[in-house]
Copies of this chain bind each other. A is one copy, B any other.
Amino acid sequence: MLKIDGITRRFGDVTALDSVSLEIRQGEFFALLGPSGCGKTTLLRIIAGFERPDAGRVTLEGEDLLSMPPNRRPISLMFQSYALFPHMTVAKNVAYGLERERLPRQDVKQRVGEVLETVGLSGHASRKPAQLSGGQRQRVALARSIVKRPRLLLLDEPLSALDKKVRADMQLELKRLQHDVGITFVVVTHDQEEAMSLADRIAVFDSGAVRQVDEPVALYERPKSPFVADFVGANNLFPGTASGMEALKSGDFGMLPGTPLTQLEAGAEALLAVRPERIELADDSATRGLKGSVLDVSFYGGVSHISVEVPGHGKPVLAAVQGASTVQPGAKVKVRWNAEDAVIMAAGR
């Protein structure tokens, strides 16, 4: 339904967006993922009409969006900085958009009540934004943009200030809106888990350009480029050259098992990526695997990350195991993985 075509936007000598093209489907939950400063907010602002691109087109169901004033676009944007109206109460803030549609008062009141209930702020309806905590403000901003049920909802980091519980509730709520009301979502998030679990498709951005657009599992398991492999989830990367077989030829470690994603000519520069949770820590005495010693064990609640120093490899190799780990720093181990658990891709971004 939303077609973004060759959008470019420069700020002085910074190119915030560099000929970005995307197509977002009706009813889809679409996530934008990318490092801080890569142009995500800028793209949303262009779609919403607050920034003019230097080049490119944006159409919504065939209609040219760029020539439409912001208030005519059937789009809601939730601002990364909330942009709550400081002189209005929470209820007034949320009602604002509905009042513009000249809905009967009773309806407005009811819908505002419902949405405040949803975001857990019923008790705060008559407060001013200055009297709210950070997370409460964010929820007001969220409520304000979802209450309108627009055809397209753009959310800029909608849940970044929320704790896991509230966040999970909100995520469910967003999913419900997508399902029941059929809203199309474009969500900016830096939280990969969130993107993974919510989105139908994810676009990974870097320095103003789209690197890959894919479904979550595909993105995670078959990153098309080292950047995506590295950015989406943790990954252990090994450089080398393609061997023409199910392995990478590494200068330091010989042949490393892995599955090429595309046809790679033998000898071409390539990269092998293996996820921490695919790595097995074997006993020092095991026959296969790269020798190393445990550097650090950190507990992340539910999962522990173990970093293993492997001589010859610049960065420590990261392994993830469920629960609290029993390995001790200093322990000698071997790290290994199966060919089907690692991917080999061409080098370059």
Contacts and interface: CB of A to CB of B under 8 A. Distances in A.
Interface string A81-97: 10000000000000000
Given A161-B36, A197-B300, A299-B196, A320 B322 contact: yes
Contact of A301 (B11, B166, B232, B324): B232
B135 A164 contact: no
Interface string A270-311: 000001111000000000000000000011111101000000
A299 B190 contact: no
Given A37-B136, A166-B35, A190-B164, A299 B217 contact: yes
A163 B301 contact: no
Interface string A163-206: 11111000000000000000000000011110011000000000
A90 B268 CA distance: 43
A220 B231 CA distance: 28
B190 A135 contact: yes
A41 interface: yes
Contacts of A190: 135, 161-164, 167
A164 B220 CA distance: 14
A153 to B, nearest CB: 18
A221 interface: yes
B36 A134 contact: yes
Interface in A205-249: 216-217, 220-221, 230-234
A299 B163 contact: no
Interface residues of A, number: 58
A18 interface: no
Contact of A277 (B80, B298, B303): B303
A160 B160 contact: yes
A133 interface: yes
Contacts of A196: 298-301
Contacts of A303: 277, 302-303
A217 B205 CA distance: 36
A49 to B, nearest CB: 19
A68 interface: no
A258 interface: no
B277 A323 contact: yes
Interface in A48-101: 80-81
A45 to B, nearest CB: 11
Q: Which 9 A-B pairs have the closest CB atoms?
A: A36-B135, A163-B190, A233-B301, A37-B133, A80-B134, A196-B301, A193-B300, A197-B298, A277-B322
